[in-house]
Amino acid sequence: MASSPLWGAEEDVLGPVNLHEFEEVAKKKLHKLAYDFIAGGVEDERSLRANFEAYGHWDLVPRVMVDVSKVDTSTKLFGIQMDQPIIIAPTGGKELVMPKADEVVAKAALKMKTVLCSATGARKLIEDGEPLHWWVNGIGQATRQLATDFARRSEDSGAKAIVLTVDNAYQSNRDRNNRNRFDYGMMQGGVPKEGETRKLVNPALAANWQPHTPSLSWDYIDWVRGVSQLPVILKGILAPEDAETAVKRGAAGIVVSNHGGRQLDGVIGTLDALPDVVDAVGGKIPVLMDGGLRRGTDVLKALSLGAKGVLIGRPPLWGLSAYGQAGVERVLWMLGAELKLAMALAGQPSLATINRRLVRKHA
Ligand SMILES: Cc1cc2nc3c(=O)[nH]c(=O)nc-3n(C[C@H](O)[C@H](O)[C@H](O)COP(=O)(O)O)c2cc1C
């Protein structure tokens, strides 16, 4: 097993022993406004809780007497060889944690040889020429011209895929942010200072009805594919019907996601949504998923239900808040190490052996 990025450091003795505990350290270090922005979900946070609860709906049924003296977590996704099937999800607003936060996370991704989803030109965030694998994230553009410009620019700047967020038609109604009088324009204000309050310019209350990409349609995939070789991965699919359409319309992949419980409240937990989406896709394109993954066993359950890989959103931000770049690396390392051990104890020497028979849903 790879050694920990913080091996030998004081944090190794005193620091978090699991991903949950990174959040506790981060919470102590962050301004309330920043903590709430990252931790929070939408409205009553039912979707947020549904993600976590879904892992409790499925039990592992491990196999024994399998030679697991070697366990291989590596995989290849969209042509990219990875040591573990764990990707950094796109997260805006990192500047609330520290200056140049996107750069720090990109360096961690490079060091840990994982794929980074980023809204920013990630190659520019590190030394030019560094072999960082990154996928560009966006919520789409309103016109064909803007979309094709975006695709060309992304391809030129070295992105390996476009991750199109499809669940973000409008700014959602997030009570924690509203209570803190947090306005999205304030994200540019950098790290909030102790005692600082920010003047509310443009509250995100439901009544404000702030459009992001309300006219986004399936044509977007055609637009992009007309001018670029980049695979288009749709992030934010929950319905099997949409998964079928995604395949028909030429999407290269799907991320089963509810935006970490941050867009529509009361939606299905992502692990519970996964099997129907996987069935609808029928192996034609890779299905990934995100939402609430905090343990290696969570990842193993997602893989068992057909995910080819997973994305994590908040945990890298908790790692970043707690210990900077080393914290992000530590989070990725820890989840990968837990996955490897979980696979060993479940009798699964490689990702290829994992299948749906490894889990059962509660009656
Ligand atoms: C602070 C924050 C910002 C986010 N920003 C984006 C974004 O810009 N685009 C996007 O598609 N998803 C965004 N997400 C959602 C994540 O990509 C991901 O779907 C979600 O965080 C996964 O759940 P998890 O945090 O439980 O791992 C954001 C999530 C957080 C926590």
Per-residue pLDDT tens digits for 90-137? 999 999 999 999 999 999 999 999 999 998 777 778 877 788 999 999
Ligand 1 atom nearest the C-alpha of 48 is 26
Pairing state of beta strands 86-88 and 309-312?
parallel
- Long-range pairs for 216-220: beta carbons < 8 A, 24 or more residues apart: 216/139, 216/140, 216/166, 216/169, 218/245, 218/249, 219/144, 220/140, 220/147, 220/164
Q: Count CB-CB contacts under 10 A for residue 137.
A: 24
Asked if residue 52 lies in contact with residue 292, where contact means CB atoms within 8 angstroms, the answer is: yes
Can you give the pLDDT at residue 2?
Answer: 46
Specify the pLDDT at position 10: 52
280 close to 244: Cβ distance less than 8 angstroms? yes
Domain ranges of the chain: 10-361
Ligand 1 centroid to 339 CA: how many Å?
Answer: 22
**Predicted confidence band at 176 (pLDDT cuts at 50, 70, 90)?**
very high
Residue of 20, 133, 212, 259 with catalytic role = 259
Res. 201 pLDDT band, cuts 50 70 90? low
> What is the best residue among 49, 91, 298 to mutate for testing ligand 1's pocket, by most ligand atoms within 8 Å of CB?
91
Distance CA 140, CA 146 (A): 9
CB of 224 within 8 A of CB of 147?
yes
pLDDT over 70 (residue 13): no
Distance 80 CA to ligand 1 centre (A): 22
CATH assignment of 10-361? 3.20.20.70
Distance CA 289, CA 313 (A): 11
362 among known catalytic residues: no
- Specify the pLDDT at position 4: 52
Ligand 1, CB within 6 Å, residue ranges: 38, 51, 89-93, 119, 137, 165, 235, 257, 259-260, 262, 290-293, 312-314
Burial of 205 by CB count in 10 Å (0-12 exposed, 13-18 middle, 19+ buried)?
middle
